[in-house]
Structure 1
Amino acid sequence: MWKQHSPELGTQPRRWGHSVCLVAREFLVVWGGLKDGDMCDDLHIYHLSTRRWKSVDTSGERPSPRWGASLSPHPSNAWAAVLLGGRQGSKPMPLSEYFVLDLADMSWARYDVASLEDARKRRPDAWGGLPQPHGVAASGCPKNRYTHTAVTRYLDKQVLVYGGHGGRTRYFSDVGVLQLPGSKAAEERVTHTLAGGGFILPTACSSATAALPAGEGESVGGSDDGAVWLPVRCSGSAPPRRSGHASAVVGEHLVVSGGYNGKAVLSDLWLLHMPTLRWDECKLQAGALPPLTGHSLVAVPHSPLLVVFGGSTSRSRLSLAAYLLDVDARAASAVTPRLSPSARFWHRSVHVDGPGDRGSMLMLGGVGASGTALGDLFTLDLDTLTRSALAAALRAAGGSVPARLADAARKEAEARREKAEAPAEPAAGGAAAASRDAPCWLEDSAAIYGAPASSLAMGNGDVPSGSAALDALTE
């Protein structure tokens, strides 16, 4: 189920604690991180289809060398990514600024982030009408940090940040919402949801997000320079503070797994319901996850499933295990894919399209038991993984098969049979489009569990004109 990839051209970067983002479904962007004790600020791009790597020179005001920064797809620009935080030397970097990498011209741009209080003074026409949630300060922004997690909310032009390390004994469990300039519709939704004394995020992302054109209507701030940190108040019991955790989006929930709190490696699991910003602990009813930090967490499309891989279980022990996590059934099971990569942590994993309906988890780099930065690239076939795990669950159930598993098995068998009997016709838009449109074994849950982030508002793979670096990768 694991497959190691060797590049057709170029050299894979050896790196750990690096920042990774999938842009336009086809380009894996790798920036910064640590290599042999040195902090990096170089940019590498990998084209999934041609399996070519390229080290790219960039222009503009690029970020300083750092590790532990987040790199997220830009919600308004399908060819850009947003960099936040990180650590330079012993110094956590501020979240009062962010950087945008634009692959169209291979340029960096730096922007300051205002607090809502400052934004009201500077742009009363845009922000003066936003109500202030009771008991939540409008001044300031999330504190300097690294090894946090960040996810993009395309519909509302936001990047949601959770947790992280502020240096020394400072660990965080706060949620920050960076509101980027976007469409007029997004501005109206944010204004509406700030009303009533509390900040409530609108409905979670869905495939309909991709239909919203970037820059539709009048933008909130006019450019990326108009971003603000919104005041946030969560309900429920908040998770303990942590850094080095892993996060992924499943349906309307942000799933947070493990991490380190300065004293111990954590094994707990938390769900943040994003429409209401309510926290709940997800206590597993079957199976268990070990304490993990520096691991990865990737959601399986259109399902309540996630894949956990790698990480450190203590200061001296690394994990090479993979776990399949079901947040609906509140169950976890260890899986043993063939040809597993070596034990590691501080690697990076993302979801990519193909080869099957559920796509694959792509994993790059990390640091191994010897302390050496790794540069290998693997993919894990999620179709095979979930099918094997489902078969194992059915065998374990014996004669008493849960209705949910039986129905899933039936749909799985029907989908495979229909696929085998169907004539081989090329789908419009190529193999990637065929993979995205194909039915999956939990097709009835598509309305509940959104598509992976890699398929939301991220372009169609057409290279921007004039981009010599991307042309060299795809030609």
Structure 2
Amino acid sequence: HEGPCARSGHRVVCTASDLFCYGGYNPDYENTEADEYEDEEDTVAATYPLFRELWRYNFASRKWTRLTTRGSMPSELASHSATLLGNNMFVLGGSGIPFGYTASQELHIYNLRTNTWQKLACRGEKPPRLYGHTVNIIDKYLYRFGGTTGWEYNGQVHRLDLQTHEWSLIAKEDNKSPGKRYRHESVCYKNEMYIFGGGQSDCVYDFEKLPVFHLDDFSWRYCRTKGDASVQTGFPPARRCHSCVSHKKDVFISGGYNGRDVFDDIWHLNLDLMQWMCLSAKIPKPTYFHAAALTPGGDRMFIFGGLHGINDQRTADFYEIWLKVPSLREMTWQYFSTNCPKLICSEPNQLLHLGIPADLVHRIS
């Protein structure tokens, strides 16, 4: 394969130059590549039907590379959480096979520069062993919400101090907290954490009234949103297993599943106005259990993998969509990298001699 095999339950993060894809699950994968990997403990065969691997897609060269990493790569590879802070990708929890019985509460950090994994030694009131939860990093704290053990669903909020490495339970489950859920999504904005969708095996949550967690006083409230008058539903239909990306006030959700239907829609929410808008663009095929990431400037969204339709057919489809007009500098770089593939393969010194800025040259790998 030139890139990652078809999968679901993986996660992706995005820098200005690369997209990183970690983990995933595919019970229908026929392993024909195990002989290509020298380290038998780190092969696809050793973790089948999970993928204990990290891939990088370079936007300039348009090529996938399976990375050979060092350190303690996690082995819980499905429905984990992943978020990027600087040059570090934080991976929390997830499940192996059988689901739930091999779930994790550990936090691993992958450094993009050193290509090294590190398992963070944490103390305090750790969260349960969960998968299908979400994490967000604000200031010096990592916040974790929701998830499932495989038979019980969670509605707690835990916080990890990234300086002292101490966990604390900051919001228990009570009559003020939102419904327990997994495979929801969450974003943080202006010191508040917004929860989008998710559900349990027999229910899904809607997007008309969003649960919002205040990071100042650790309290829940509900925020009513405004529907898009141009579409009949007005609001995104309730769902789980969708994707969600955000940049400042802008949130985009796409795809997902409600227990009956699989969605191909893309919705935008302005958090300042609490206004939903259904984009005219669609995912080419209805998809759920996929992963999405947004470039740091918030202009491009990438969607990879997931399941198409209700027949559990996993895919390695890879899509990109421009969400806003990029800067003139970015448009020029996109034109150059698309139309001059031979120059992209040149030595860095040659590109610098041509007058290409050093930060753009460093995007090529």
Q: Same-fold call, TM > 0.5? A: yes
Shift of 1:295: 0.5
Residue from 109, 112, 118 that aligns with 1:103: 112
Shift of 1:108: 1.8
User: Partner of 1:237 in structure 2?
Assistant: 176
5 Å-filtered alignment, 1:191-230, equals 220=164, 227-230=165-168
User: Partner of 2:123 in structure 1?
Assistant: 114
Shift of 1:237: 2.6
Shift of 1:311: 0.0
User: Partner of 1:70 in structure 2?
Assistant: 81
Matched, 1:79 2:90: no
Give the direction of change, closer, same or farther, for the CA distance of 1:52–1:240 in structure 2 (3 Å limit).
same
Matched, 1:20 2:20: no
Residue from 143, 154, 160 that aligns with 1:178: 160
Partner SS state of residue 34, structure 1: coil
Matched, 1:255 2:255: no
Q: Is the 8 A contact 1:236 1:279 kept in 2?
A: no
Residue from 343, 348, 366 that aligns with 2:306: 366
User: Partner of 1:167 in structure 2?
Assistant: 150
Q: State how far apart, in whole Å, the 2-side matches of 1:332 and 1:92 are.
A: 38
Alpha-carbon RMSD: 2.9
Partner SS state of residue 288, structure 2: coil
Q: Is the 8 A contact 1:34 1:373 kept in 2?
A: no
Shift of 1:174: 0.9
Shift of 1:462: 8.5
Q: State how far apart, in whole Å, the 1-side matches of 2:217 and 2:142 are.
A: 16
Give the direction of change, closer, same or farther, for the CA distance of 1:51–1:177 in structure 2 (3 Å limit).
same
5 Å-filtered alignment, 1:284-323, equals 284-286=225-227, 287-299=234-246, 301-303=247-249, 305-314=250-259, 316-323=260-267
Q: State how far apart, in whole Å, the 2-side matches of 1:99 and 1:41 are.
A: 14
The letter for the 2-side match of 1:84 is L
Partner SS state of residue 145, structure 1: coil
Give the direction of change, closer, same or farther, for the CA distance of 1:29–1:237 in structure 2 (3 Å limit).
same
Q: Is the 8 A contact 2:76 2:104 kept in 1?
A: no
TM score, norm. by length of structure 2: 0.76
The letter for the 2-side match of 1:329 is L
Q: Is the 8 A contact 1:12 1:376 kept in 2?
A: no
The letter for the 2-side match of 1:289 is P
The letter for the 1-side match of 2:237 is P
Matched, 1:379 2:328: no
Q: Is the 8 A contact 1:92 1:145 kept in 2?
A: no
5 Å-filtered alignment, 1:29-40, equals 29-37=20-28, 38-40=49-51
Shift of 1:290: 0.9
Q: State how far apart, in whole Å, the 2-side matches of 1:12 and 1:262 are.
A: 28
Q: What CA deviation, in whole Å up to 9, does each residue of 1:1-59 have, x standing for no partner?
A: xxxxxxxx94244221102222x432211111112351111110112232221011222
The sequence identity of aligned pairs, in percent, is 20
TM score, norm. by length of structure 1: 0.59
Richer in helix (by share): 1
Q: State how far apart, in whole Å, the 2-side matches of 1:280 and 1:240 are.
A: 12
Partner SS state of residue 324, structure 2: helix
Partner SS state of residue 166, structure 1: coil
Residue from 337, 341, 344 that aligns with 2:287: 344
User: Partner of 1:333 in structure 2?
Assistant: 277
Greater shift after overlay, 55-64 or 38-47?
55-64
Q: State how far apart, in whole Å, the 2-side matches of 1:230 and 1:101 are.
A: 23
Partner SS state of residue 77, structure 2: coil
Q: State how far apart, in whole Å, the 1-side matches of 2:72 and 2:175 are.
A: 41
Q: Is the 8 A contact 1:259 1:265 kept in 2?
A: yes
Q: Is the 8 A contact 1:311 1:319 kept in 2?
A: yes
5 Å-filtered alignment, 1:39-54, equals 39-54=50-65
Give the direction of change, closer, same or farther, for the CA distance of 1:167–1:12 in structure 2 (3 Å limit).
closer
Residue from 212, 216, 219 that aligns with 1:271: 212
Shift of 1:99: 1.4
Partner SS state of residue 240, structure 1: coil
Q: State how far apart, in whole Å, the 1-side matches of 2:288 and 2:236 are.
A: 16
Q: Is the 8 A contact 1:36 1:372 kept in 2?
A: no
Choose between structure 1 and 2 for higher RCO, CA contacts under 8 A separated by at least 6 residues: 1
User: Partner of 1:206 in structure 2?
Assistant: none
Shift of 1:254: 1.8
Q: State how far apart, in whole Å, the 2-side matches of 1:108 and 1:270 are.
A: 34
Aligned length: 308
Q: Is the 8 A contact 2:22 2:53 kept in 1?
A: yes
Shift of 1:175: 0.9
